[in-house]
Chains A and B, each alone.
Chain A
Amino acid sequence: MAVATIPHSPFAHDDPEVDLLYSETRELRVQGFLLFMVSDLVLFSSFIFAYLYLRSSGQGWPPPGGPKLDLALASINSVILFGSGATMHFALENWKHSKFMKFAGWMVATIVLGSLFLSGQVIEYAKLAVGWGDSGIFGAGFYTLTGMHGFHVFCGVIYLTVLLLQATHGTYTFKKYTGLTLGTLYWHFVDVIWVVLFSIFYLL
């Protein structure tokens, strides 16, 4: 992989041959990652379609006996996740401007906010107190989609932690940081999906 050939310090002197290989593989990696995001988006869209289809199947929403969602908790939780998108943006911007410590600080903030969001989800699930399989279409819609999204956030937290560790170990230089760009793309993607999920579950 390209990363293995890059010297082990973000300040390292750049080798022109590595530069050429890097610029060529960079476009491939970014495009491939964007296409992966498209297919992931289709996965979410399919389940969103399923939820809207079931919701409009005449049982009413919430389905009879289904629990009510806590809007106040969801608002603060959403803001936490959106805030983590902003901190991730700052992290990447600082890396672009060669400020390692600030980058690391914003990365830690992002990871903490992501974990806070996950905790908020757990609290919400606990308050709902109905099971996935025994709550009819409520479980099929709400738990499946938010659970899938929560899994993405969970993976994202681990992903960002790995990126932070890699950055500390000098995997990326201040000129070559495709991996960090991809991580930022992923995290923004997770955020944006939550905009959609928040709208269809809490505002619709």
Chain B
Amino acid sequence: MSEAAQHTIAHVERILAVIFGLVVLGVALVALKNDWHSKGIENQVFKMMLGLLALGAFLAILAAFNVLAGHGVEV
């Protein structure tokens, strides 16, 4: 595969990641809001995990923009 093609693929990946990331972020936050008053131990865990899921989506969006890239990655 040529370098140009690889760049194109990376671009497509980044754009898709941002779009889907925003969707997941929105869905997770809405779900968190709807579940906010639910009771029971498993629902508390669900809420925590939805919050972390939103955080993960947010991080992935930033990563797609190359903000926050770490030491071990190819930018």
A195-B20 in contact (CB<8A): no
Q: How near does chain A come to B56, taking the closest CB pair, in angstroms?
A: 4
CB < 8 Å neighbour of B41 from A34, A86, A184, A191: A34
- The answer for the CA separation of A9 and B64 in the assembled complex, in Å, is 45
B-side interface mostly:
helix
Q: Tell me if B74 and A68 are in contact (CB < 8 A).
A: yes
Total chain A interface residues with beta-carbon distance under 8 A? 40
A189-B49 in contact (CB<8A): yes
Identify which of B14, B31, B64, B73 contacts A86 (C-beta below 8 A).
B31
B74 to chain A, nearest CB (A): 4
Contact A185 B46 (CB under 8 A): yes
Chain A window 58-88, contacts with chain B (Cβ cutoff 8 Å), 1 for yes, 0 for no: 0001100010111111111011101101100
B52, B63, B72: which has the most chain A beta carbons within 10 Å? Answer: B72
Chain B nearest CB from A20 CB (Å) reads: 18
Known contacts A79-B24, A202-B70; is A85 also within 8 Å of B17 by CB? no
Which 4 A/B pairs are nearest by Cβ-Cβ distance? A195-B56, A75-B17, A188-B49, A68-B74
Task: Please give the residue numbers on chain A whose beta carbons come within 8 Å of chain B beta carbons, in ascending order.
Answer: 30-31, 34, 61-62, 66, 68-76, 78-80, 82-83, 85-86, 89, 93, 142, 181, 184-185, 188-189, 191-192, 194-195, 198-199, 201-204
